[in-house]
């Protein structure tokens, strides 16, 4: 979703802002812009619809000023266009602003500000909600406020969640940042005589690893020497930067053609890192050291609810399955965006587990608030981002250790979430006594083999490529699975939609006869997930029924399964795994199939159209 960058210091701001925006491209955007202020007060604002290369091409001479802000926009209010791209200026041209989030009450604010604009013979310059912000700030400044006070007053008038960067044309030595609610992160980076700002760490890493994460309700006044934090309820302070141990190389693409492919291949390492030190065998224990939720709480809950969105929802579905199987406690899953607007009856004895790779998804955060406000139930978050908003809302966090994920379509964080949920299921089972030491040891020993299962799955990339090429022209796919393979069928279909733009549906195979079968013919390929689990025979019947309608079948089953191979058009054999570990065996293949279909169709795999990595707006 939208990205923000900022700079103030001794270097030329333009190239630094552009490079920062390039590093945020993965978040998804449809237009971009920068505003740079020279020490002599001259201002350059450049905005373009389309990719950053369009913005770069539009720059005749790179503005050299020592302060500036930049933005990649993902349209919400107003179509993607040059005029709607950020930065936006006040009608006086003095106050320059970029924003992530939504000004929910922008209509009434526009109506309120319009009279003043009309009196000055001016009108709005864009169709965006953001444009009210510089105008509100300018109005406060005209009343004699300092910039930070004017910003604070303007923010107090906004409804919704907003992350803002701004500056005033008359002051080339300062930029300002503010955060209200959950509109994605805002990180300040400390350099030597220069300061950086970005909505996400990857944009800062080439410059510094000393950072401060702006908190909800804070405003930062940033000059080349540091940052001063203001908030309504506390004295001003200069925060201590924290050092992040992220390797800048981890966010480079290396020899891979796409970040998505790189991240698919990083999965064995992401898994071992996530499991490391958390699955002990002698004596058996899971997540023993890091938990802020006590065994007594885990014993007292009567039910577990796992929530998430997108790929994280599919991880939640598998997590639910493991929690039931391993910990033997009632468990359910829910879509966070539906859950938060229902009146779900969960009770305080439900443990709520939110899965969110970014820790910033607005619906998941909304669901967490709902749980806290309505039920006060204990909450755990599974996330890849330390310090994210979700970690602040939860009672305990289980951090995946996947490293930054740049591809918009989640891959390694899917398996990272799964490892964390599996460990949690083990921990709950042990705390409740439903899982004896021997069974716990056995379950953990299995989990420890997951990186090598995934490694073997990755070796099937060429075969996936070959099969994908036979289906480049297909515009529909049905993906079938049963039991723990059903959420994987849904994840496979989601990956196809996200990056290949083909219509794909993931279905529980038992449902096929209740509708989808009517679609099937020779042009409608079916991907069947059919490892030799307890429901294998039922999957075989479903495949027979598909073949009888002449629909081509691509089956993913156990290595060496000749019976299955003989029945279908294409067969991919994955390493045999226990019922519990099936997701680790199947995931690389479903990801690689979608990747190679998209590749054969020549699509923009890392930045699929209309999608965003972190969805911070409703
Ligand atoms: C977006 C991303 C998906 C992700 C989903 C949920 O749609 O493109 O890859 O699965 O958001 O994000 P979260 O950060 O909550 O896991």
**Is 568's pLDDT higher than 80?**
yes
Distance CA 14, CA 287 (A): 46
Mutate to test the pocket of ligand 1, among 185, 309, 493, 612 (most ligand atoms within 8 A of CB): 309
Q: Which domains does the chain have, with CATH numbers?
A: 3-249 (3.60.20.10), 258-448 (3.40.50.10490), 456-609 (3.40.50.10490)
- Ligand 1: residue of 25, 260, 310 to mutate (most ligand atoms within 8 A of CB) is 310
For residue 402, indicate whether it is catalytic. Answer: no
CA atoms within 13 A on the CB side of 316: 27
- Summarize pLDDT for 85-131 with one digit per residue, the tens: 999 999 999 999 999 988 989 999 999 998 888 888 888 889 999 99
Does 311 contact ligand 1 (Cβ within 6 A)?
A: yes
Comparing 58-62, 278-282, 588-592, the range with the smallest average pLDDT is 58-62
Query: What pLDDT, on a 0 to 100 scale, did the predictor assign at position 468?
Result: 94
Ligand 1 atom 14: the closest Cα is on which residue?
A: 358
- Token duo for residue 574: 């994955």
pLDDT at position 215: 87
Q: What is the pLDDT of residue 249?
A: 56
CB distance 495 to ligand 1 below 6 Å: no
The 3-state secondary structure of 494-514, one letter per residue: HHHHHHHCCEEEEEEHHHHHH
Q: Which two tokens stand for residue 417?
A: 């979430």
Q: Which of 389, 390, 422 is nearest to 316 (CA)?
A: 422
**Count of alpha carbons within 13 angstroms of residue 34, beta-carbon side:** 30
Cis ω before 401 (30° cut-off from 0): no
Please report the sign of the dihedral spanned by the C-alpha atoms of residue 470, residue 476, residue 478, residue 484. Answer: positive
Task: Enumerate the β-bridge partners of residue 219.
Answer: 178, 230
Residue bearing the CA closest to ligand 1, atom 2: 613
Q: What percent of the chain has pLDDT over 90?
A: 74
The confidence band for 227, taking pLDDT boundaries of 50, 70 and 90, is very high
Say what the pLDDT of residue 558 is: 97
Give the active site residue among 2, 402, 426, 496.
2
Q: Which atom of ligand 1 is nearest to the CA of 408?
A: 8
Whether the pLDDT of residue 465 is over 70: the answer is yes
Q: Find out whether the beta carbon of 310 lies less than 6 Å from any atom of ligand 1.
A: yes
Tally of residues, the chain: 618
More confident of the two residues 216 and 415: 415
The answer, yes or no, to whether residue 591 has pLDDT greater than 80, is yes
Q: Is the pLDDT of residue 24 over 70?
A: yes
Tokens of 18: 């552009």
Closest CA to 185 of 207, 204, 168, 206: 204
Query: Which residue's CA is the nearest one to ligand 1's atom 5?
Result: 310
Report the distance separating Cα 496 and Cα 493, nearest Å.
Answer: 5
Q: What is the mean pLDDT of residues 220-228?
A: 96
- Decide: 613 in ligand 1 pocket, CB within 6 A: yes
The pLDDT value given to residue 60: 73
The catalytically annotated residue of 180, 412, 430, 613 is: 613
Atom of ligand 1 nearest to the CA of 311: 10
Which two three-digit tokens encode residue 440?
A: 């716990």
Q: Is 357 in the pocket of ligand 1 (CB under 6 A)?
A: yes
Q: How far is ligand 1, taken at its centre, from the CA of residue 312, in Å? A: 6
Mean pLDDT of 315-337: 97
Tell whether ligand 1 has an atom less than 6 A from the beta carbon of residue 340.
no
Mean of pLDDT values over 133-157: 95
335 lines ligand 1 (CB under 6 A): no
CA dihedral (150, 156, 157, 161) in degrees, to 10, reads 120
Query: For residue 610, what pLDDT is reported?
Result: 82
CB of 568 sitting under 6 A from ligand 1? no
Distance 183 CA to ligand 1 centre (A): 15
pLDDT at 63 over 80: no
Residue 496 designated active-site: no
Cβ count within 10 A of residue 568: 20
Pocket test for ligand 1, best of 259, 339, 410 (most atoms within 8 A of CB): 410
How far apart (Å, rounded) are the C-alpha atoms in residues 58 and 80? 17
What's the whole-number average pLDDT of the chain? 92
Residue 242 pairs in a beta bridge with 211
Ligand 1: distance of its center to the CA of 498 in Å?
A: 11
């Amino acid at each position: 979703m939208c990205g923000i960058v900022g700079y103030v210091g001794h270097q030329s701001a333009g190239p630094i802002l552009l490079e920062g925006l390039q590093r945020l491209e993965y978040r998804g955007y449809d237009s971009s812009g920068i505003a740079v202020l020279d020490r002599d007060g001259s201002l350059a604002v450049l905005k373009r619809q389309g990719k950053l290369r369009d913005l770069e091409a539009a720059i005749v001479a790179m503005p050299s000023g020592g302060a500036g802000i930049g933005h990649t926009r993902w349209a919400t209010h107003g179509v993607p266009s040059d005029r709607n791209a950020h930065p936006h200026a006040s009608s006086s041209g003095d106050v320059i602003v970029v924003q992530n989030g939504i000004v929910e009450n922008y209509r009434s604010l526009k109506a309120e500000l319009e009279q003043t604009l009309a009196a000055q013979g001016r009108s709005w310059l864009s169709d965006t909600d953001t444009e009210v912000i510089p105008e509100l700030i300018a109005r406060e400044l005209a009343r004699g406020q300092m910039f930070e006070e004017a910003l604070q007053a303007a923010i107090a008038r906004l409804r919704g969640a907003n992350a803002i960067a701004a500056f005033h044309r008359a002051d080339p030595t300062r930029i300002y940042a503010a955060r209200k609610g959950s509109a994605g992160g805002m990180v300040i980076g400390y350099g030597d005589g220069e300061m950086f700002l970005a909505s996400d760490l990857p944009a800062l890493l080439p410059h510094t690893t000393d950072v401060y994460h702006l908190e909800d309700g804070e405003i930062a006044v940033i000059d080349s020497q540091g940052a001063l934090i203001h908030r309504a309820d506390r004295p001003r302070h200069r925060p201590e930067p924290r050092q992040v141990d992220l390797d800048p190389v981890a966010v480079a693409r290396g020899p891979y053609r796409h970040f998505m492919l790189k991240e698919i291949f990083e999965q064995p390492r992401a898994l071992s890192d996530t499991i490391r030190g958390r699955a002990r065998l002698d004596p058996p224990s899971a997540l023993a050291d890091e938990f802020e939720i006590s065994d007594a709480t885990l014993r007292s809950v009567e039910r577990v609810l796992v929530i998430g969105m997108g790929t994280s929802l599919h991880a939640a579905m598998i997590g639910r399955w493991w929690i039931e199987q391993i910990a033997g406690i009632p468990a359910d899953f829910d879509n966070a965006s539906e859950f938060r607007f229902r009146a779900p009856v969960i009770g305080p004895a439900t443990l709520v587990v939110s899965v969110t790779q970014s820790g910033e998804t607005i619906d998941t955060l909304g669901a967490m608030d709902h749980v806290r406000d309505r039920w006060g139930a204990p909450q755990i978050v599974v996330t890849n981002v330390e310090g994210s908003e979700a970690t602040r809302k939860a009672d305990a966090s289980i951090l995946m250790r996947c490293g930054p994920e740049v591809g918009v379509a989640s891959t390694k964080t899917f398996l990272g979430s799964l490892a964390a949920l599996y460990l949690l299921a083990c921990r709950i089972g042990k705390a409740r006594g439903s899982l004896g030491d021997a069974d716990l040891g056995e379950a953990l020993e299995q989990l420890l083999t997951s990186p090598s299962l995934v490694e073997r799955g990755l070796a099937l990339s060429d075969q996936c490529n070959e099969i994908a090429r036979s289906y480049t022209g297909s515009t529909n796919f049905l993906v079938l699975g049963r039991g723990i393979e059903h959420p994987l069928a849904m994840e496979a279909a989601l990956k196809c939609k996200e990056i290949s733009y083909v219509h794909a549906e993931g279905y529980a195979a038992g449902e096929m006869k209740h509708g989808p079968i009517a679609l099937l013919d020779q042009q409608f390929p079916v991907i069947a997930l059919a490892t030799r689990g307890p429901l294998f025979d039922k999957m075989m019947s479903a495949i027979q029924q598909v073949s009888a309608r002449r629909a081509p079948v691509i089956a993913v089953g156990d290595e060496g399964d000749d019976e299955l191979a003989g029945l279908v058009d294409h067969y991919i054999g994955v390493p045999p795994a226990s019922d519990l570990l099936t997701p680790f065996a199947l995931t690389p293949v479903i990801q690689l199939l979608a990747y190679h279909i998209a590749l054969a169709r020549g699509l923009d795999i890392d930045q699929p159209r209309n999608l965003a990595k972190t969805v911070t707006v409703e």
